[in-house]
Amino acid sequence: MTTQVTDETPHGIPDDPEIVLAARNVAKSFGAVQALKGVNFDIRRGQVTTLFGENGAGKSTLMKILSGVQRPTTGELILEGRPVEINTTVEARDLGISIIHQELSLAPNMNVRDNIFMGREIRGPGGVNFAEEERQTRALMKELEEDIDPLTKVEDLRLGQQQIVEIARALSVNSRILIMDEPTSALSASEVEVLFKVINDLKTKGVSLVYISHHLEEALTITDHAVVLRDGVMTAYAPRNEIDLEWIVRNMVGENFDLGSPPTGHEMGAPALELKGLTVPATASAGNAVDGLDLTVRAGEVVCIYGLMGAGRTETMECVAGRLNATKGEILLHGQEVSHLSIAERIAAGLVLVPEDRQRDGLVQTMTVGRNLSLASIGNFTKGFLTNLRAEAGIIDRSIREVTVKTDGPGAAIGSLSGGNQQKVVIGKMLATKPSVILLDEPSRGIDIGAKAEVFRILADHAKDGMAVVYSTSEVGECLAIAHRIIVMRRGKIAAEFTHDVTKEAIMAASGESLVA
Amino acid sequence: MSNTSAVTGARKSGGKGSFSLIQLLLEGRAFFALIAIIVIFSFLSPNYFKLSNFLTMSNHVAIYGLLAIGMLLVILTGGIDLSVGSVLGLCGVFAGFLMQGIEIPAAGVILYPPVWAVVVLTMALGAFVGFVNGALVAWFKVPAFVATLGSLYVARGVALLMTNGLTFNNLAGDPALGNTGFDWLGFNRLFGVPIGVIVLAVVALLTGLTLMRSSFGRWLYAAGGNPRAAELSGVPVKRVQISVYVLSGICAAIAGIVLSSQLTSAGPTAGTTYELTAIAAVVVGGASLMGGRGTVNGTLLGAFVIGFLADGLVIIGISSYWQTVFTGAVIVLAVMLNSIQYGGQGKRS
Ligand SMILES: Nc1ncnc2c1ncn2[C@@H]1O[C@H](COP(=O)(O)OP(=O)(O)OP(=O)(O)O)[C@@H](O)[C@H]1O
Ligand SMILES: [Mg+2]
C-alpha cells in the first residue's frame, strides 16, 4: 500500500506565527512497541485540527505527549516558536494546554463541582469557596445545555453525562490550546451539536483546538485542518477545503468501507428474546427508566435501538442481562422466563451483554488481554477442577483474530491496548461464549470505521447462523447498517419502529431530537 | 490485518536488554532479599547456617505462611482479613478444649474425640468464623477492614472466655482414651522435614493449583481486579468473596492446630498481631492490596523473608525493639517496590 504524503506535511522549525504548538520528530516507544515513529504535527491558532487514524495509530499517545501526560522518547515540542519541555499535566496547564481524555479521568466518588475544580480549587476566606465553584459549574452546565446538578456524585451520572463533566472541566481552565480525544463517543447528536457550538465560540476567542473522533462525518463539520496518522506515522495532511470523507477513509485504511447491510438469505427463526411490559425504575431519580416495554427479537434478526441519552436503552439492556431488577414485566429467552436467573446463569443460557462503559463494566484492568478475552467463557475450557490451557489458548487466539485486536500478544497488559482495541476485547469476550442472544450497548464506541465495519460484519454473520442481535447506538448512520428493524426509544417507551428503508431524518424526528444540519 | 501481525512480530524481537534485568530484579525481589538475609546472617552468626536452625526457623515460617496464604486469597479479591491472628488463637484453644474431653452432663459421660475429629471440628470452627466475615462483607456490605476487625475482637474474647484466660497444657492425650497423636503435628518429621512445613507445602501447592489452573482461581483475580466487570462476565462475585474468607479461616485454624501442637499448649493469647505479619508476608511477596495481583510463590517467599529475618535478628542477639524496627523497614521497602512495579503498569492503563 502506498503511503501518500502531501507536500503540506509540516517539517522544520515552524516559522509561521499561526502555529501555536508544534511537535517535531516525536517518537514514543513502550518497551518494544513503537507507538509513534517520528511525527510532525502542528496546531494552528484559533482553528480546529482534526486527527484521524485507525485504532492504535497513536493518536492518543501523541495527545498525551502534547499535554504532558507522557514524555516522548525522542523529538521536541515547540510552543510559539520556542522549544519547550512539558513534563507534567500541571506544567501543561500553566502553559495553557488542557486535554479531554478518551478514557474518562474523573473521581467517581466526588461530586460534579469538586471534579471540575479538582487540583485548582478556588480559595476563599474560609478555605475553599464552594459557592463560587458551584456558580461557575452551573454556568458551564448552562453553556453545555445540560441539566446536571453540580452536587450530584459523578458515579450517579450516565456515561454521557460524565463525558459532559469531563468536557466542562477542560473548558473551565480557559486554556489557549484544548485537546479533545474522542469527546463525543458517549454523546447524543443534539449534545454533539451543542459541543460544536461551544467549539466555534472558542475558535472566535482564539483558542486552538485538536479534535479526535471516529465519527468522521461529524468531525468533518468542524475541521479546519485534517491530519491522518497511520501506524505511528503521519501519512496525510490537508486543509478542510481540499478534503472530503473519502479522502480521510482512503488515507486512514486504504480503502472505502461501508457499514454493511442487513444479512439476508436466511430464515428468521422463532422468537429468541421477548420482553413483555418490562418496567425498570430509574436509578438516580424517581420514575421509571424503562416503562412497560414490549419487544420481540427473533433468532437471526438484527435489531437496532436508537434513542437520546436517558431514553432507557442502557437500563433495558442491563435489566435483560440481569444487572438491574425489573419491577414489572417478563423476560423470555427462547420462551423460558429468565427473570429469576443470575447474570452467570443467563450467560450460560446464551444471553449476554456487551456493556457500554468498558473501563467500569467491561475490562478487568489487572488481567492480561488473553485472560480478559477468556473470562466469560471459562466454563468452556474447564474440565472438573482444572482449566485446559491449550483449549483456552485456542479460544483466545480465535477471539483475537475474529475481532482483530491489535496487540503484542495474549500476555500483554490490557491497559497497553489503544481505546478501540480495548473495546474489541470486550466484544470478543462475550462472543466467545457463543451466545444465542447478544445485546450490545453502543458497541462502536471508540472503534475506527474499519473495525466498525468488521464488528457489524461479524454480527451480521452470526445473525445468519441464527443469533439474535440487539445493539444500541447514538449515531443514526449505524442504525441503517445491519439492522433489519430499528426501534426508537423515548422516555422508556418505544416511540417508533422502522424497517431498514427508513431515512435518518425520520429516525431522529421520532427520537425527539432536533435535526442536525 | 496481516501486516499488523507482521509488525507485532518484528516489535517483539526488538531490543530489551537492561530493561528486562531491572524487571527481573524487581519481580524476583523477595527471592533476592531472602538470599541476602541468609548470607548476611550466616556471616554474623555461626549458628545461623545450620540445618537444625533452618528447621526451627521453617517451623516458625509454617505458621506465618499458612496465615499468609489464606490472607493472600482475601487480598486478591480486594479485601483484608484482620481476624486471622485471633482465629488462630481461638482455634488453638478450641482444639485444646476438645482434647480435654467434652463433658456431657445429661449422660454423665466425658467424650474424648480422636485427634482427627479434633482437627476437623477445629477447621470447621475456622471456616465458620470466615463465613461470618464473608457474609458481612458480601451480603451486608460491611467494609472488610471493619468486619474482620470486629471478628478479631470477638474471636479473641471468646478464646479468653473459654479458658478464663488460662492455658491448656495437656494436649498429649491418653492412650487409654484413644486420643493421642496431637503432638505428632508439631514434633514429628517426615523425611527429616517437620510436619508443619509439610502441611504448609501441601496447602501452598493446592492453593497455587487453584489460583493458576481452576476457574475459581480466575474468578478470584477477576473479582479483585474489577468486580463490576467480573460480575457482568458471569463471575459469581459474592460467592467468591465468601469463599475466600472461609478459606482464610480454615488456614488460620490449621495454623492454630500446628502452633499449639508445636508449643504443646494452647493459650488464648496465641497469635496476637500475627494478622499483621501475614499481611506483611503477602505484601513483601508482591501482591497488591488493591486486589487482583499476587501469587502463592511470592507470598511464601514473603513469609520466609519475614520469618528468617526475625529469627536471624534473635540469633545475633539484637534487642526485640530493633527487631520491630527492622521488620517495619522491610515492609515499607517492599510496598515501595510494589508501587514502582505496578506504577509502571498503571501508567500504561
Ligand atoms: N502504556 C502502553 N504500553 C504499551 N503499549 C502502548 C501503551 N500505550 C499505547 N500503546 C500502544 O501504542 C499504540 C498507539 O496507541 P494509542 O492509544 O495512541 O492509539 P489511538 O490512535 O489513540 O487508538 P484509538 O483510536 O483506539 O484510541 C497501540 O499499539 C498501543 O497498543
Ligand atoms: Mg485513543
> Which segments of chain B are extended strands (E)?
102-104, 109-111, 189-190, 193-194
What is the predicted pLDDT for the residue at B17?
Answer: 42
pLDDT, average across residues B230-249: 96
Crossing angle of helices B29-44 and B320-348, in 10° steps, is 160
- Cell 472558542, located at residue: A202
The CA distance from A9 to A42, in Å, is: 9
B224 touches chain A (CB under 8 A): yes
Give SS3 for A312: coil
Q: What is the dihedral of CA A447, A453, A458, A460, to 10 degrees?
A: 130
**What tens digit of pLDDT does each residue of A169-197 get?**
988 888 899 999 999 888 877 888 889 99
| Cα–chain center distance at A242 | 28
For residue A210, the 8-state DSSP code is E
For residue A342, the 8-state DSSP code is -
What is the predicted pLDDT for the residue at A380?
Answer: 86
Those residues whose beta carbon sits under 5 angstroms from the ion ligand 2 are A 60, 102, 419
Mutate to test the interface with B, among A364, A408, A425 (most CBs of B within 10 A): A364
Instruction: Read off the C-alpha cell for A145.
Output: 445545555
Q: What is the DSSP string of A182-225?
A: STTTT--HHHHHHHHHHHHHHHHTT-EEEEE-S-HHHHHTT-SE
Closest-CA residue to B236 (of A372, A318, A348) = A348
Task: Let me know the angle formed at the C-alpha of A471 by A262 and A500, rounded to the nearest 5 degrees.
Answer: 30
Q: Which of A103-117, A185-199, B243-257 has the highest mean pLDDT?
A: B243-257
**What tens digit of pLDDT does each residue of A247-305 get?**
888 888 766 567 778 888 888 889 999 999 999 998 767 788 888 899 999 999 999 99
Domains recognised in chain B with CATH numbers = 60-342 (1.10.3470)
pLDDT exceeds 50 at position B11: no
What is the predicted pLDDT for the residue at A231?
Answer: 85
What is the predicted pLDDT for the residue at B118?
Answer: 92
Strands A208-212 and A177-181: parallel
What is the predicted pLDDT for the residue at A510?
Answer: 84
Q: What is the DSSP string of B106-127?
A: TTTEEE---HHHHHHHHHHHHH
H-run or E-run covering A402: helix A389-402
pLDDT exceeds 90 at position B347: no
Closest-CA residue to A428 (of A397, A459, A400) = A400
pLDDT, average across residues B218-242: 95
**What tens digit of pLDDT does each residue of A459-488 get?**
999 999 999 999 998 888 888 889 999 999
The CA distance from B96 to B257, in Å, is: 9
When mean pLDDT is compared across A16-20, A267-271, A363-367, A484-488, the lowest value belongs to A16-20
B93 neighbors B159 (Cβ within 8 angstroms) = yes
The CA distance from A249 to A235, in Å, is: 12
The CA distance from B156 to A406, in Å, is: 54
B12–A353: do the CB atoms touch at under 8 Å?
A: no
Instruction: Read off the C-alpha cell for B30.
Output: 523477595
A413 touches chain B (CB under 8 A): yes
A68 touches chain B (CB under 8 A): no
Separation in Å, CA of A158 to nearest CA in chain B: 16
What is the predicted pLDDT for the residue at A437?
Answer: 96
B70 neighbors B247 (Cβ within 8 angstroms) = yes
Instruction: Tell me what percent of the residues of chain B surpass a pLDDT of 70.
Output: 91
For residue B170, the 8-state DSSP code is -
The terminus-to-terminus CA distance of chain B in angstroms comes to 24
What is the predicted pLDDT for the residue at A12?
Answer: 60
Out of A60, A64, A424, mutate this one to test ligand 1's pocket (max ligand atoms within 8 Å of CB): namely A60
Position B123, amino acid:
M
Q: Mean pLDDT, chain A, as a whole number?
A: 88
Does this complex have an ipTM over 0.90?
no
Q: Label residue A506 by pLDDT band (50, 70, 90).
A: confident
Q: Label residue A502 by pLDDT band (50, 70, 90).
A: confident
Contacts of B65 (CB under 8 A, 6+ apart): B200, B204, B281, B299, B300, B303, B304, B307
Q: Which residue from A70, A321, A378 is facing B215, i.e. has the nearest CB?
A: A378
Closest-CA residue to B122 (of B242, B246, B257) = B257
Instruction: Read off the C-alpha cell for A297.
Output: 427479537
**What tens digit of pLDDT does each residue of B302-315 get?**
999 999 998 999 99
Instruction: Read off the C-alpha cell for B268.
Output: 488464648
Give SS3 for A78: strand
Q: Label residue A6 by pLDDT band (50, 70, 90).
A: very low
Strands A225-230 and A48-53: parallel
Cβ–ligand 1 distance for A420 under 6 Å, the answer: yes
What is the predicted pLDDT for the residue at A71?
Answer: 92
pTM, rounded to two decimals: 0.84
Closest-CA residue to B237 (of B141, B323, B169) = B141
Q: Which residues of A338-367 are buried (b: 16+ CB within 10 A; e: fewer)?
A: bbebebbebbebbbbbbbbbbbbbbbbbbb
The CA distance from B170 to B182, in Å, is: 10
Q: What residues does B156 pair with on adjacent strands? A: none
Crossing angle of helices B195-213 and B51-76, in 10° steps, is 30
Task: Let me know the angle formed at the C-alpha of B150 by B300 and B225, rounded to the nearest 5 degrees.
Answer: 50
Q: Mean pLDDT, chain B, as a whole number?
A: 86
The CA distance from A421 to A448, in Å, is: 9
Cβ–ligand 1 distance for A348 under 6 Å, the answer: no
Instruction: Read off the C-alpha cell for B255.
Output: 495454623
Closest-CA residue to B272 (of B52, B78, B11, B88) = B88
The CA distance from B110 to A11, in Å, is: 94
**What tens digit of pLDDT does each residue of B171-210 get?**
777 777 777 777 777 777 788 788 899 999 999 999 999 9
Domains recognised in chain A with CATH numbers = 15-96+177-256 (3.40.50.300), 107-174 (no CATH), 270-350+436-517 (3.40.50.300), 360-434 (no CATH)
Backbone torsions φ then ψ of A50, nearest 5 degrees? -100, 135
Give SS3 for A75: strand
Question: Three-state SS string across B234-284, please?
Answer: CCCHHHHHHHHHHHHHHHHHHHHHHHHHHHCCECCCCCCCHHHHHHHHHHH
Q: What residues does B93 pair with on adjacent strands? A: none
A39 neighbors A85 (Cβ within 8 angstroms) = no
Give A363's contacts in chain B (Cβ within 8 Å).
226, 229
What is the predicted pLDDT for the residue at A144?
Answer: 87
pLDDT, average across residues B218-226: 95
Q: Label residue A63 by pLDDT band (50, 70, 90).
A: very high
Instruction: Tell me what percent of the residues of chain A surpass a pLDDT of 70.
Output: 95
- Cell 482449566, located at residue: A387
What is the predicted pLDDT for the residue at A1?
Answer: 40
pLDDT exceeds 60 at position A116: yes
Q: What is the DSSP string of B322-337?
A: HHHHHHHHHHHHHHHH
The CA distance from A358 to A142, in Å, is: 29
The terminus-to-terminus CA distance of chain A in angstroms comes to 36
When mean pLDDT is compared across A97-106, A183-192, A197-206, the lowest value belongs to A183-192
pLDDT exceeds 70 at position A499: yes
When mean pLDDT is compared across A112-116, A285-289, A378-382, B47-51, the lowest value belongs to A285-289
When mean pLDDT is compared across A194-198, A318-322, B189-193, B335-339, the lowest value belongs to B335-339
Closest-CA residue to B252 (of B89, B137, B136) = B89
Separation in Å, CA of B21 to nearest CA in chain A: 13
What is the predicted pLDDT for the residue at B342?
Answer: 66
What is the predicted pLDDT for the residue at A321?
Answer: 94
Instruction: Output the residue whose Cα is nearest ligand 1's atom 11.
Output: A35
| Cα–chain center distance at A340 | 32
More confident residue, B201 or A215: B201
When mean pLDDT is compared across A239-253, A329-343, A398-412, A419-433, the lowest value belongs to A239-253
A161 neighbors A192 (Cβ within 8 angstroms) = no
Q: Label residue A515 by pLDDT band (50, 70, 90).
A: very low
Ligand minimally distant from the alpha carbon of residue A52: 1
Backbone torsions φ then ψ of A221, nearest 5 degrees? -65, -20
Residue A317 burial (C-beta neighbours within 10 Å; 0-12, 13-18, 19+): buried
